[in-house]
Amino acid sequence: MRLTTLTVVFSSVLALIGCATPQSRAPKVDQLSTTLEAKKQREMVVEDFITTNKRLQSVASRVVMSGAELCGEKIAPHFGITTWSADNFQKEWKTAVQDKYGLTDQLHISSVASGSPADVAGLKEGDVIQSVNGLAIPAGKDAAKRQNEQLREIGKSGMPVDFTIERNGEIKSVFVTPVQACDFSVQLQPDDVKNAYADGKNIVIYKGMMDFFRSDEEVALVLSHELAHNSMKHIDAKKKNATIGGLIGLLVDVAAAAGGVNTNGDFTRMAMNAGAGAYSVEFEQEADYVGLYFMATAGYTIDDAPNFWRRMATSNSKSITMKSSHPTAPERFVALESAVQEINDKITNNQPLTPEMKNVPE
């Protein structure tokens, strides 16, 4: 009897699935409109990326310039531009950026950080770089990276650098005088992931993380935390720790997880499996602590830092239940509050903004 009922139910479900097609007659969709819509959406994605990158680079420029002293010997000439070319894109994306931004295979300026030497000198987004101090500009897929290296070399003298650019069909010379800044490049990754990481040389912030920020102070906070991981050489130290345990193969993942704002369960698991958790909590606390000094030195208000981490913690229930390489939320909150107090007291008393160090030799 029961079997019969089940069979009846099962077959009626099948019958329902069988006729589950839309009942209304939707408008016909032609190929051309679909193609145009796809292109429009691609352009919107790129535009959003470019706007977000400008915001990130502007905050980053301010933090790395003012933090030069805290970065010690890890400094390099800073100009404050990022570049791109059509070679960075494939097929349909290429068409979208060519049409919308007039992008060619030459290097175009994609962002000029507000208040950076490039901004002060008058370089603008969209400028096409023709030469730098008379030297040819790299071309091809990794042109932007090679251009950075070129600028690093040229900038060493500290003298004004002659950017010959094309703007609206006119050729111009713009002289940019670089300043010393922390030598860590900041990159925006397009993925919709709420994470960030430092790898010892770079700081990578995901688009999903940028979308989560409600103010430039919050951008500066995470950026400064990552900058602290790099300036305090946490990755090198982690490598040493990991080598002892014979875990070299997992280093990249561990660095990504432990260096980041850890809200992703998979990343956490990788870090835990690698057993690199032992020193992580201390490193994370140091990145929080030293990071606040970077942030305050750049003139950002640090008072809301504990609240931001609280918001991060509560926006992902996993971080409350799962023990990660980052300090647990309540522990972190309390430590941050006292660091904020310490720094604000120094600001009030006009004391230098340098982190308190242990007096024991390393």
Name the site residues for Zn ion (rule: CB under 5 A): 284, 287
In the complex with Zn ion, the residue whose CB is nearer, 210 or 287, is: 287
Tokens of 248: 């070299």
Q: Report, in Å, the least distance between residue 84 CB and Zn ion.
A: 28
Q: Report, in Å, the least distance between residue 209 CB and Zn ion.
A: 12
In the complex with Zn ion, the residue whose CB is nearer, 220 or 287, is: 287
Per the CB < 8 A criterion, the answer to whether 31 and 38 are in contact is no
Q: How far apart are CA 303 and CA 344, in angstroms?
A: 8
Q: Report, in Å, the least distance between residue 259 CB and Zn ion.
A: 6
Question: Which of helix, strand or coil describes residue 133?
Answer: coil
In the complex with Zn ion, the residue whose CB is nearer, 81 or 287, is: 287
Q: How far apart are CA 276 and CA 255, in angstroms?
A: 9
In the complex with Zn ion, the residue whose CB is nearer, 68 or 290, is: 290
In the complex with Zn ion, the residue whose CB is nearer, 183 or 284, is: 284
In the complex with Zn ion, the residue whose CB is nearer, 235 or 287, is: 287
Q: How far apart are CA 241 and CA 279, in angstroms?
A: 8
Per the CB < 8 A criterion, the answer to whether 333 and 319 are in contact is no
**How many residues are listed for the chain in this entry?**
362
Q: Report, in Å, the least distance between residue 183 CB and Zn ion.
A: 19
Per the CB < 8 A criterion, the answer to whether 242 and 250 are in contact is yes
Nearest Cα neighbor of 127 from 156, 90, 69, 169 is: 169
Instruction: State in Å, rounded, how far the first CA of the chain is from the last one.
Output: 79
Neighbouring CB atoms inside 10 A of 21's CB total: 5
Q: Report, in Å, the least distance between residue 229 CB and Zn ion.
A: 6
Q: Report, in Å, the least distance between residue 78 CB and Zn ion.
A: 23
